[in-house]
């Protein structure tokens, strides 16, 4: 199949396919005598794997590491599981940071309700934003 057909089958653009080839995620295809790229069904499967792995949160570099193991005839499940566990830990840490930020923002919003707008005289700051407040400083 030609590159446009592969792009349609894999749900990506032809530019993406060329990029994946340039970084080694997809093998260079055979060329027709007139220079057109010609792909087999294996390219569709690899392209779908790359897309699915990206949706799972893996980076292109991580996907390349999985594919290198597969190309070497090794099993990749333990490696892939480790990558996914690392991403889960990063997401958990991000959730905790977001929870702390939510607490801080809630405190600021509550504090803002009690402030007198007429008392806001500093030309460089809004009195609502104050990380000096003890309950907010503790969460940041």
Residue 131's pLDDT is what?
62
For residue 105, which of 78, 139, 75 has the smallest C-alpha distance?
139
In a domain, 49, yes or no: yes
Q: What is the 3-state secondary structure (H, E, C) of 17-34?
A: HHHHHHCCCCCCCEECCC
Residues 42 and 94 in one domain: no
Residues 64 and 7 in one domain: yes
Cα distances (Å, whole numbers) of residue 100 to 77, 123, 136: 35, 29, 10
Residues 105 and 129 in one domain: yes
Residue 136's pLDDT is what?
55
pLDDT tens, residue by residue, 1-49: 999 999 999 989 999 999 999 999 999 899 999 989 999 999 999 999 9
pLDDT tens, residue by residue, 75-124: 999 999 999 999 999 999 999 999 999 999 999 899 889 888 888 888 88
Cα distances (Å, whole numbers) of residue 98 to 4, 43, 77, 125, 140: 42, 40, 31, 25, 11
For the chain, how many residues are written?
140
Residue 60 has pLDDT above 90, yes or no: yes
In a domain, 82, yes or no: no
Cα atoms in the Cβ-side hemisphere of radius 13 Å centred on 110: 9
In a domain, 80, yes or no: no
Residue 139's pLDDT is what?
54
Question: Into how many domains does the chain fold?
Answer: 2
In a domain, 31, yes or no: yes
Residues 27 and 66 in one domain: yes
Q: Which domain holds residue 113?
A: 90-137
Q: What is the CATH number of the domain that holds 8?
A: 1.10.1660.10
In a domain, 79, yes or no: no
- 137 falls in which pLDDT band (50, 70, 90)? low
CB proximity list for 50: less than 8 A, separation 6 or greater: 20, 25, 26, 60, 63
């Amino acid at each position: 199949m030609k590159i446009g057909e592969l792009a349609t089958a894999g749900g990506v653009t032809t530019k993406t396919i060329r990029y994946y080839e340039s970084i080694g995620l997809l093998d260079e295809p055979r060329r027709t005598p007139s220079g057109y790229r010609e792909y087999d069904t294996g390219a569709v499967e690899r392209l779908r794997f790359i897309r699915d792995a990206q949706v799972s949160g893996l980076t292109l570099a991580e996907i390349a590491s999985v594919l290198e193991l597969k190309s070497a005839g090794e099993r990749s499940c333990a490696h892939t599981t480790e990558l996914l566990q690392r991403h889960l830990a990063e997401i958990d840490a991000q959730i905790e940071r977001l929870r702390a930020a939510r607490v801080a923002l809630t405190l600021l919003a509550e504090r803002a309700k009690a402030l007198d707008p007429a008392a806001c005289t500093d030309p460089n700051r809004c009195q609502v934003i104050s990380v000096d407040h003890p309950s907010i400083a503790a969460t940041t």
